[in-house]
Amino acid sequence: MANTASAKKRIRQTIRRTAVNGARVSRIRTFVKQVETAIAGGNKDAAAQALKAAMPEMQRGVTKGVLHQNTVARKLSRLSARIKAL
């Protein structure tokens, strides 16, 4: 257990930040799932629109530090390739 005031504050900050970051990652996953379902449905226009909506959310995840830049680039590349192949 933390004894110093700074350690106690650090624990409070970590709890808050973990909750916020979890919500961010969950939101990104939701957007990606929407793209996946549109691709599975075979609707190229809907999939492209879903990807267009998902891109800024994924990039925001990079900016906020919850996802790595290369991870997002790889996922966007693979999703767009799958949409292009429809």
CA gyration radius for the chain? 17
Instruction: Report the predicted TM-score, pTM, of the whole model to 2 decimal places.
Output: 0.85
Question: Which amino acid is residue 27, in one-letter code?
Answer: R
What mean pLDDT comes out for the span 37-54? 95
Distance of CA 7 to the CA centre of its chain: 30
Q: List the chain domain ranges.
A: 5-85
Name, in order, each residue with C-beta under 8 angstroms of 82's C-beta and a sequence gap of 6 or more: 39, 47
- The per-residue pLDDT for range 14-39, each reduced to its tens digit, is 999 999 999 999 999 999 999 999 99
What mean pLDDT comes out for the span 3-12? 94
Q: Is pLDDT of 2 > 90?
A: no
Distance of CA 82 to the CA centre of its chain: 18
- Tell me what the pLDDT averaged over the chain comes to: 95
Q: Is pLDDT of 1 > 90?
A: no
CATH architecture of 5-85: Up-down Bundle (1.20)
